[in-house]
């Protein structure tokens, strides 16, 4: 028999406590109740909503992932570089966005997921930076620099933002 005294929100809170012991584990894998709750609680954390709003106003390409590594948004500038607007792709898991865009090291090999700046930012709760190559939807390769920083709250990590730009380029500010 189902425990009706536990609300969907208390199941999500239990999931957050459980996931804190296993950082950067996709939420659906952390707690068996989450799969039952996810259809009820589809609202993203406020911090991710605010981060998305900020990124929408930037002309610097940027990615937003949640605490499980799911790509929840990228801005128009990133869409131009990647050759695909976010509205065309939508929310995708780490394996899918990695297969679509890379990144790749200097020899053209895929960079391990655990070594990506955005993953390190979420897991370690601190900024990370790297240079690598990404692939756009048309197969063109772009050498970029990426800086990622976590979105931290009193409740822990909510995700991370990664900003990227062509490697070696100037931002026009007299660098």
Residue spans per domain, the chain: 1-42, 44-166
Question: For position 42, what pLDDT does the model report?
Answer: 60
Question: For position 7, what pLDDT does the model report?
Answer: 41
State which residues of the chain have pLDDT below 50.
1-41, 172-175
DSSP sequence for 77-112: HHHHHHTS-HHHH-SB-HHHHHHHH--B-TTSPBPP
CATH class, range 44-166: alpha beta
Prediction pTM value: 0.69
Question: For position 155, what pLDDT does the model report?
Answer: 81
Question: For position 174, what pLDDT does the model report?
Answer: 39
β-strand partners of 153: 156
């Amino acid at each position: 028999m189902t425990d009706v005294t536990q609300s969907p929100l208390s199941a999500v809170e239990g999931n957050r406590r459980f996931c804190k012991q296993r950082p950067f584990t996709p939420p659906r894998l952390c707690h068996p109740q989450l799969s039952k709750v996810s259809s009820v609680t589809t609202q993203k954390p406020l911090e991710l909503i605010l981060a998305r709003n900020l990124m929408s106003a930037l002309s610097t390409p940027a990615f937003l992932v949640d605490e499980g590594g799911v790509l929840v948004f990228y801005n128009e500038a990133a869409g131009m570089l990647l050759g695909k607007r976010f509205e065309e792709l939508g929310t995708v898991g780490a394996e899918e966005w990695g297969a679509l865009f890379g990144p790749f090291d200097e020899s053209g090999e895929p960079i391990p997921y655990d070594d990506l700046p955005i993953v390190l930012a979420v897991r370690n709760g601190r900024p990370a930076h790297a240079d690598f190559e990404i692939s756009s939807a048309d197969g063109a390769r772009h050498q970029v620099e990426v800086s990622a920083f976590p979105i931290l709250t009193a409740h822990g990590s909510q995700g991370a933002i990664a900003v990227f730009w062509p490697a070696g380029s100037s931002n026009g500010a007299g660098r």
